[in-house]
Chains A and B, each alone.
Chain A
Amino acid sequence: MKQNSMLAMVLAGGRGSRLKDLTNKVAKPAVSFGGKYRIIDFPLSNCANSGIDIVGVLTQYESVLLNSYAAAGRIWGLDSKDSGVFILPPREKADANLDVYRGTADAISQNIDFIDTYNPEYLLILSGDHIYKMNYSKMLAFHKEHKADATIAVIGVPKKEASRFGIMATNEDDRIVEFQEKPKAPKSNLASMGIYIFNWKLLRKLLLADMKNNDSHHDFGKDIIPTLLNDGRLIYAYRFKGYWKDVGTIDSLWEANMDLLEKSNELDLSDPSWKIYTEDATELPQYIGCDAVVKNSYITQGCIVEGKVENSVLFTGTEVGKDAVVKDAVLMPSSIVEDGAKVTRALVANGVKIGKGAVVGNAKSEEILLVAEDVEGVK
């Protein structure tokens, strides 16, 4: 049997309420991204590509779609005899009542029994709502090399933005000496990516203690990491270089999609050596019509374009009618822009129809317009 030395747990329970109407019916990790993907495809594909066989997905908010989606482990190739994706919503147990996950650490604590069945040496904690490509096996090698008790992936952020993140102050060996949650006076520019590797035996002990601590928020950032630091444990910062984005708001989700339009963008979804896997759509290849104009855009299978599309990302099964103009826009799956309609600087939600001749969005607006309901056509 293959040795599963590291098991991954993906925290996918959050609502992502700053995504407004996009997350009314689906949890944030299930939100669409990049034409054909869902956000959770990124951590799950990274796991598959990093050789991790067992992945637990901790879900809570509006999880029906997310649960059924993530349960299809074959999408990411995680369906061999010794591998799998396991959906872990809160559950009632013989010795505990059904309770929501009270925090990120609690979500893991409530599934200690699941993790124990695989008895891994290391536990990888991931967040289900970031866009990036990362080889976790390299991070594990770093963790082992430093004989660390825990390793936290960090990314350099601009100094002036550092106060929005969890900041890691390190010594010259990249050992973490202090953790600052959203600090006013950041001591470094290394932000936590919410990716942790723990030695499972140690973490297990800490979690059992944390569960009983009524003063705890049961959170990795607020409780577990500070405890480890107070105990003088060896925690290292693993510096990640590359594209990483938290798509927590409509603006940042739009921006992350627009990033794909750069000719040699950092995320590079076309790299055959690190594919991002997703659900296969049974749709025709895209059809670009006789009078269509398509410039600087990212368009996927199942789209039908008869009008003009510029600087935009079109998701699976979207349609752009004759004489319609779509500019600086993101059209989520199955949305329709009817003949003569104009969409500018907007994000059109799944299945939304922009009626004939309607005009939505404004090239000069500061914020990106979210169009979450059908817009009636103009006669």
Chain B
Amino acid sequence: MAKAYGIVTMAGAHINIEGMMDFRPVSAFSFLGRYRIIDFPVSSLSNSDIENIHVYVSQNPRSLAEHLGSGRIYNINSKRGTLQLLFNQDSRVNDIYNTDIQAYYDNMDVISRMQQQYVIITPGHMIFKQDYKRLLEDHVASGADITVLYHKVNNAKTEFRNCTVVNLNRQKGVKSIEKNEGNVDEKNIFMETYVMKNDLFMELINKSKRTSSILRLVDIINIANEELDIRGIQHKGYFSVVTDFKSYFDSNLALLDRNAQKELFSDDWPIYTQTTDACPVHYFDGSSVKNSMVANGCRIEGTIENSVVGRNVEIGSKVVIRNCIIMSHAKIDDNVCLENQVVDKYAHITSDKTIVTTPDKPGYIRRNDIL
């Protein structure tokens, strides 16, 4: 048995992606045509031999529950391993009560029964790969109480504005974790990933409840920083976050770059997802496709450039699609022009429409809508 179990957290209340979140939590967002964002943390945990995984969800659990199933798709042993969805009921009184700590508190009995000595907590709205086995080894070897992951960036003034940053001392000790104020470009973006002993985790949850009802895990860790040895480890490789609509749009299109693809996907680190048994893509005579990722089951007669196209999408003739994310089962009829749009599942755009916006303000076409 692995020494740690995993927790994939739900996106905090500060994350709001208008439109798309009406239908599913961020972790269930479709990503790069055939994945969902949750596939990245869960695959990394599974590839690290961590086979007991808790996935937290509070709202619209249907799509996440459907997608995760028994966990078999993630190569988790069906007897020894478990992939559990843990629910918690959001407070209707006031959003300030809806913290991750509250969710953990509601599921304290499950947490307290875990056999593993360590817990690895990682978010459901960030896209990266990480060998957690190595992270755990490094954590144990360092003797730290808590190890957190951070990613060094040089564009924190404009990007990652909805993230927190890790302030480190020279020995990689964590001084504080605070909001990205956007005043400096070089920052260590906090990846909301923690390794600690499960006992300490429970202690922090209880302490947090005793201190205040509205604390988040990151708050109590900041408060406990004085007594605890908290260290940061730098993550290297592909990293993106989905905290708003624009970052969702950008994270997808960023992976049209072959080098970015190679950084995130490799044969020795598979990213698992649910298969839908869609047939290969059928390109017809009039089609012209450049710099795009296309998932199986599509039928394409038109032009696609710099776009991500999900499964079973139909693209009619004389259609032009540029810088778009088209989700599965969308149908685009003849003579449609779309630029900088996110078209949600099962949307149907009937012929002779032009919907164009600028890349800094991508548009959104809702699930099931007919235009």
Do these two chains interact? yes
Q: Pick the contact of B280: A287, A291, A293, A299 (CB < 8 A).
A: A299
| Nearest CB on B from A270, distance (A) | 5
User: What's the Cα separation between A293 and B285 when bound, in Å?
Assistant: 11
User: What's the Cα separation between A260 and B34 when bound, in Å?
Assistant: 23
Contact A284/B261 with A34-B280, A276-B277 known, Cβ cut-off 8 Å: yes
Q: B188 contacts the other chain (Cβ, under 8 Å)?
A: no
Q: B212 contacts the other chain (Cβ, under 8 Å)?
A: no
- For B12, list chain A residues within 8 Å (CB): none
A285 touches B32 (CB 8 A): yes
A288 touches B261 (CB 8 A): no
Q: Pick the contact of A289: B272, B277, B291, B299 (CB < 8 A).
A: B291
B277 touches A277 (CB 8 A): yes
| Nearest CB on B from A303, distance (A) | 9
* Cβ contacts A269-292/B at 8 Å (1 or 0 each): 110000111101010111111111
User: What's the Cα separation between A359 and B295 when bound, in Å?
Assistant: 30
Chain A residues bordering chain B, tally (CB within 8 A): 35
Contact A297/B290 with A270-B299, A277-B277, A284-B32 known, Cβ cut-off 8 Å: no
- For A151, list chain B residues within 8 Å (CB): none
* Cβ contacts B274-299/A at 8 Å (1 or 0 each): 01011111111101111111111101
* Cβ contacts A327-366/B at 8 Å (1 or 0 each): 0000000000000000000000000000000000000000
- For A291, list chain B residues within 8 Å (CB): 290
- For A288, list chain B residues within 8 Å (CB): 289-294, 304
Q: A372 contacts the other chain (Cβ, under 8 Å)?
A: no
A296 touches B283 (CB 8 A): yes
In the complex, what residue of chain A is closest to B32 when comparing beta carbons? A285
* Cβ contacts B1-42/A at 8 Å (1 or 0 each): 000000000000000000000000000000011100000000
Q: A157 contacts the other chain (Cβ, under 8 Å)?
A: no
- For A277, list chain B residues within 8 Å (CB): 277
Within 8 A of B (CB), among A274-325: 275-278, 280, 282, 284-301, 313-314
User: What's the Cα separation between A289 and B265 when bound, in Å?
Assistant: 17
Q: A35 contacts the other chain (Cβ, under 8 Å)?
A: yes
| Nearest CB on B from A73, distance (A) | 13
Chain B residues bordering chain A, tally (CB within 8 A): 37
User: What's the Cα separation between A288 and B303 when bound, in Å?
Assistant: 12
Q: A218 contacts the other chain (Cβ, under 8 Å)?
A: no
A287 touches B279 (CB 8 A): no
| Nearest CB on B from A329, distance (A) | 15
A286 touches B294 (CB 8 A): yes
- For A282, list chain B residues within 8 Å (CB): 270-272
In the complex, what residue of chain B is closest to A315 when comparing beta carbons? B280
User: What's the Cα separation between A288 and B287 when bound, in Å?
Assistant: 12
- For A269, list chain B residues within 8 Å (CB): 279-280
User: What's the Cα separation between A300 and B280 when bound, in Å?
Assistant: 4
User: What's the Cα separation between A93 and B292 when bound, in Å?
Assistant: 57
Q: B134 contacts the other chain (Cβ, under 8 Å)?
A: no
In the complex, what residue of chain B is closest to A275 when comparing beta carbons? B277
- For B281, list chain A residues within 8 Å (CB): 286, 298-300
Q: B258 contacts the other chain (Cβ, under 8 Å)?
A: yes
- For A296, list chain B residues within 8 Å (CB): 283-285
- For B279, list chain A residues within 8 Å (CB): 34-36, 269-270, 276
In the complex, what residue of chain A is closest to B264 when comparing beta carbons? A284
B288 touches A285 (CB 8 A): no
A293 touches B288 (CB 8 A): yes
Within 8 A of A (CB), among B234-288: 256, 258, 261, 265, 270-272, 275, 277-285, 287-288
Interface centre among B258, B270, B277 (most CB of A within 10 A): B277
In the complex, what residue of chain B is closest to A76 when comparing beta carbons? B277
Q: A263 contacts the other chain (Cβ, under 8 Å)?
A: yes
- For B287, list chain A residues within 8 Å (CB): 294-295
In the complex, what residue of chain A is closest to B75 when comparing beta carbons? A282
| Nearest CB on B from A204, distance (A) | 36
Contact A285/B280 with A280-B275, A293-B288, A295-B285 known, Cβ cut-off 8 Å: no
In the complex, what residue of chain B is closest to A293 when comparing beta carbons? B288
User: What's the Cα separation between A339 and B43 when bound, in Å?
Assistant: 33
User: What's the Cα separation between A74 and B291 when bound, in Å?
Assistant: 35
| Nearest CB on B from A77, distance (A) | 10
- For B275, list chain A residues within 8 Å (CB): 280
In the complex, what residue of chain B is closest to A268 when comparing beta carbons? B279
Interface centre among A35, A277, A291 (most CB of B within 10 A): A35
- For B294, list chain A residues within 8 Å (CB): 285-286, 288
Within 8 A of B (CB), among A135-176: none
User: What's the Cα separation between A289 and B296 when bound, in Å?
Assistant: 17
| Nearest CB on A from B232, distance (A) | 31
Contact A285/B293 with A295-B285, A296-B284 known, Cβ cut-off 8 Å: yes
B295 touches A289 (CB 8 A): no
User: What's the Cα separation between A291 and B312 when bound, in Å?
Assistant: 24
User: What's the Cα separation between A31 and B292 when bound, in Å?
Assistant: 30
- For B256, list chain A residues within 8 Å (CB): 287
Interface centre among A284, A296, A314 (most CB of B within 10 A): A284
Interface centre among B72, B293, B299, B308 (most CB of A within 10 A): B293
Q: Pick the contact of A299: B278, B283, B285 (CB < 8 A).
A: B283
In the complex, what residue of chain A is closest to B308 when comparing beta carbons? A285
In the complex, what residue of chain B is closest to A279 when comparing beta carbons? B275
| Nearest CB on B from A288, distance (A) | 4
User: What's the Cα separation between A290 and B305 when bound, in Å?
Assistant: 8
* Cβ contacts B340-357/A at 8 Å (1 or 0 each): 000000000000000000
- For B33, list chain A residues within 8 Å (CB): 285
In the complex, what residue of chain A is closest to B258 when comparing beta carbons? A287
User: What's the Cα separation between A333 and B87 when bound, in Å?
Assistant: 42
User: What's the Cα separation between A286 and B261 when bound, in Å?
Assistant: 12
User: What's the Cα separation between A296 and B301 when bound, in Å?
Assistant: 9
User: What's the Cα separation between A168 and B294 when bound, in Å?
Assistant: 46
User: What's the Cα separation between A290 and B279 when bound, in Å?
Assistant: 24
- For A74, list chain B residues within 8 Å (CB): 72
- For B288, list chain A residues within 8 Å (CB): 293-294
In the complex, what residue of chain B is closest to A297 when comparing beta carbons? B283
B282 touches A270 (CB 8 A): yes
**What are 25 A-B contacts with C-beta separation under 8 Å?**
A36-B279, A36-B280, A269-B280, A270-B279, A270-B282, A270-B297, A284-B32, A284-B34, A288-B290, A288-B291, A288-B292, A288-B293, A288-B294, A290-B290, A291-B290, A294-B283, A295-B285, A295-B287, A298-B282, A299-B280, A299-B281, A300-B281, A300-B296, A301-B34, A301-B296
The 7 A-B residue pairs with the shortest CB-CB distance in the complex, in nearest-first order: A35-B280, A300-B280, A269-B279, A280-B275, A282-B270, A285-B33, A285-B295
4 further A-B pairs in the complex, CB-CB below 8 A; given A290-B291, A296-B283, A299-B280:
A261-B282, A275-B277, A288-B291, A298-B280
